[in-house]
Amino acid sequence: MNKLFGVLFFILLFTAQGFAFTDNKKQTAEQWTDSVYRSLTPEERIAQLVWVAASAGDNIEQQIKTAELIRNFHPGGMIFFEGDLKKQIRLTNYLQSISKTPLLIAMDAEWGPGMRLSGTLTLPYAMALGAIQDQNLIMKSGEEAGRQLKQIGVQVNLAPDADINTEPHNPIIGMRSFGESPQNVTRCATAMMQGMLNAGIIPVAKHFPGHGDTQNDSHLTLPVLPYSRERLESTELVPFRELINAGIPAIMSAHLNVPALDSTKGIPATLSPLIINNILRKSWGFKGLIITDAMNMQGVRSYGAPGTIDVLALKAGNDVVEFPADPKETILAITRALKTGELKWNDIEQKCKRVLLAKYQVGLNSYKAINPSGIEKILNTPQSELLNRQLSEASLTLLENQRNIIPLQGLDTLHIASVSIGSDSITTFQKGLSRYSDIDHFNLPDNFTAKEADQIFNQIKNYNLVIVGIHNLYEMSNRKTVKVGNIKHVSPQYPYNATPELEQFLSSLSGRQRTIITLFGNPYALAEFKHFSKPQALLIAYQDDPVNEDLCAQLIYGGISAQGKLPVSITGLYKAGEGLSTPNPIRFKYTIAEEVGLNSARINTRVDSIVNLAIRSKAFPGCQVFVAKDRKVIFHKAYGFHTYDKVIPVSLDDRYDLASNTKITGPLSSYMKLYDEGKFQIDDQVSKFWPDWKKRLFHKSNKEDITFREVLSHQAGLIPYIGFWNKTLRKDKTPDPKWYSPFKDEKYSLAVTPNLFLDQKFSKEVYKQIRLSPLKNRGKYIYSDLSFILAPEIIKNISGENYVTFVTQNIYQPLGANSITYNPFEKVSLDKIPPTEYDHVFRHQLVQGSVHDESAAVLGGISGNAGLFATANDMGKLIQMYLQKGTYGGHEFFSEKTFNTFNTVQYPQTGNRRALGFDKPLLNNAEVSVSDAYPIKDVSPESFGHSGFTGTFVWADPKYGLVYVFLSNHIYPTRENMVIFNQNVRTNILQVFYDEVKK
């Protein structure tokens, strides 16, 4: 065994130097083919027609046997199956180096090398591609599969599958087929073929004459295709005939008995001259390679012994005997057949030259060894990830959409539960749903009992919408695994685990509640329900993986649109070609930067570097960063921890104190809504709705004539702030019991912290101090909190509603931005709220879950200058709504005209850059130096945003379609921390995205 390991070590380290023919680059295809053919012995010419199996797995002895086979018999090619990516490359390099003639390396990689090799991206199954209407997108799938194969030294892909799958219980084709329509299969297979040819890979159409309408697996037995010649001509044969016309270079013959094409009892098509030679060669004029399906399969072995059947395959018209059970015996049997005259040398010469010509066409006349270094990065590029997402997105098929429930609208009216069936924990699908609105999640395991179903049903019965994800119907546990040769094959048992309990659960939901059902997997599973109750919406994703789960959640909420068409019929329910479309997207799409033409690797590297340096420098313990471009979320990450002790990592659903970003999140959105409704005018005096500023007898006020335009643009002369809280402290600066209680009641109702409550009467003291405060430099820009502190009461007076109720019901709930809230300690665990500062002056405790700002704190945490908390994701929705000038999710919050009014600089003549509530770039931003610009030099004049004392910052730019949200707790544990400013963390991150956009 030590010797075996030594040999393997040599194989894995060996780097091929090339072939004897590498100096023939200038030769034509014919010259090269003839020259190689003449250099081969008769036995070596025969061996070119034999392709052997190889595996880069853990079977060392088998790899050594393969190497010996190549040294001694010089086969024409190898077919790789399962294995490890780098091992396969090293093994390929070694085997090529010891082969007298370059080997054609083939893989059965219908959905890319990820079908066989770990560490590589898996592209969608053929049935998913069959649902896609964009043929160019399917071609790109073939190109990507081909690109990846070429990078690992493979020249032949045993794909596309051109079978017409009309048998729902087909145990071997099923999802490998593009569908049941000959026209659709032809369309898709042709596009895949063209893509692979574009990538320099030989595609092989299979399984001729058509394996789609069989109930048996040819690995295990010989299936029979019992149909008439007319039926075969109109269905099974169509794609193969059309692919030949389109230029397919190779076809694989199948181990099928087809009496209508050859009446010989029990003969597989592979061995039939009437089927292979007469149809493909003579009738259709096919001049490319004909390759057998694996000759170790029982479907052909049942007809004869190894060697004998291989001779019959060549005699029938095949050029290549693939994966013979005994390669040595195959070569010897062919030699004997030539001596007896059963086979002719003229035929062998033709077949051998076809193989050699194929080698020339894929560049094997000048083969170079593959470097395995960094191969994962070469294969798994952001572009391949994007293509995979695009393919999956285009395949999603909506079969029911009663009353146009998808995309979901009226989020403020929905009480939603999600149920994932086949999973014990929260799924990617459920997490994706939660990005759009509040949802309560439930799970049912595989093969759940009626009792478990009843328990879940009772828990969700009061919800007015239930979203169900069905996973794992096509379960490995319900399949029978068999071994043929060295290859394991999986044969599904039916039904698809569609248990009576599952059927009853779905029927109960459909009968009593609005229900959206998403099936992740084979759509044929629906036919297993004897009494299928159609839900309000039914969505099919053809694979159960994180990408499809994520995209289905996005489709339900309108982040993407439905485009796919069902490629197969579901007996008694739906016909092939059905599929509903939905309108253009109305909410965020969550994707990667490449979708908007940016470089995700560069972005991630630069942002990670900025943030990680900031965390190491203790600018803040953690943060959230969110960026969207053109309504597509391209960056959404959480960094670090809640505190420097690194106990609780920051997650994307943590709520940060927005500080002054409250101004544009709460009061400003409310003001725009009310202004749009005509409830007040920008030049109205604030005192019209806040009588406390009116002059009356014994009631002084210097603010009666101040307008909304002035206060919202910080032009009213109000002083920046007032230390209201000082009046509530004793001489030792501790909370005065006259004002405070550790318990909340009717008198002490203002929550300063979760365990400290202030007398509600103190709010009047706040209003009085603001009224009596001096005005300084009215008509000049002075940033002030005071008018925003009053905003909740002013908005209440204008609207006639409680401020929090008004902004929540009119803004946050319709947005699906339910994490935006005051006093989050009342709603979520403190573990979801990073703390701000340890307050040594006022509250004498760590501030967590309640507002940091002292002015907002003495008002019970509910103020217009500060007090709101949010996730970056929900903050992004609000800012995107602003960017879209008042609309989001199919809902108009206010008019475009209103937004434009509020986003206009009001007093440029005084040097004031502010709009109504919004911060804006410097008025001369384009003229100043990069270091003096605000927020950065590249922003457009139309852009807007705001910053917050706790370390928050948001910015949006209509010109570039950008939304940027940065949330942190930089003042933990003290506000004296200036590192975030010294390092320009927030604006440096913003600069990264402008650099990319402007490249």
- Residues 216/167, Cβ–Cβ less than 8 Å: no
The amino acid present at 99, given as its one-letter code, is S
36: nearest Cα among 461, 344, 365: 365
What are the DSSP calls for 746-771, one per residue?
Answer: SSEEEEEETTEEEETTHHHHHHHHHH
What are the DSSP calls for 511-558, one per residue?
Answer: HHS-EEEEEES-GGGGGG-TT----SEEEEESS-SHHHHHHHHHHHHT
Can you tell me which residue has the tokens 């016309």? 245
467: nearest Cα among 516, 526, 537, 397: 516
SS (H, E, C) 902-915: HCCCCCHHHCCCCC
Among left, alpha and beta (phi > 0; psi -120 to 50; other), residue 710 is: alpha
Q: CB count, 10 Å around CB of 265?
A: 7
Tokens of 519: 């099936």
794: nearest Cα among 807, 803, 784: 803
- Residues 251/288, Cβ–Cβ less than 8 Å: yes
- Residues 237/209, Cβ–Cβ less than 8 Å: yes
User: Considering 293, 657, 676, 839, which one is annotated as catalytic?
Assistant: 293
What are the DSSP calls for 205-216, one per residue?
Answer: EEEET--TT-SS
| 853 counts as catalytic | no
- For residues 962-984, one letter each, b for 16 or more C-beta atoms within 10 angstroms of the residue's C-beta and e for the rest, the string is bbbbbbbbbbbbebebeebeeeb
Segments of 170-283 assigned E as strands: 202-208, 250-253
Q: Cα–Cα distance between 966 and 992 in angstroms, integer?
A: 13
| Cβ-proximal residues to 944 (8 Å cutoff; 6+ apart), any chain | 882, 903, 915, 918, 919, 920, 955, 956
Q: What DSSP state is assigned to residue 882?
A: H
The amino acid present at 379, given as its one-letter code, is L
Among left, alpha and beta (phi > 0; psi -120 to 50; other), residue 410 is: left
- Residues 114/121, Cβ–Cβ less than 8 Å: yes
Q: Cα–Cα distance between 702 and 687 in angstroms, integer?
A: 11
323: nearest Cα among 300, 344, 345: 300
Can you tell me which residue has the tokens 């051998």? 352
554: nearest Cα among 429, 470, 468: 429
Helices (H) and strands (E) in the chain, counts: 33, 33
Q: Cα–Cα distance between 565 and 399 in angstroms, integer?
A: 9
| 293 counts as catalytic | yes
What are the DSSP calls for 65-102, one per residue?
Answer: HHHHHHHHH--SEEEEEEEEHHHHHHHHHHHHHH-SSP
On the 0-12 / 13-18 / 19+ scale of CB atoms within 10 A, 201 is buried
Can you tell me which residue has the tokens 């057949």? 337
The amino acid present at 562, given as its one-letter code, is A
Q: CB count, 10 Å around CB of 16?
A: 20
Backbone φ, ψ for residue 952 (5° rounding): -110, 155
Q: CB count, 10 Å around CB of 301?
A: 17
What are the DSSP calls for 926-938, one per residue?
Answer: TTS-TTT-SS-TT
User: Considering 207, 211, 219, 852, which one is annotated as catalytic?
Assistant: 219
The amino acid present at 926, given as its one-letter code, is A
Catalytic positions are 219, 293
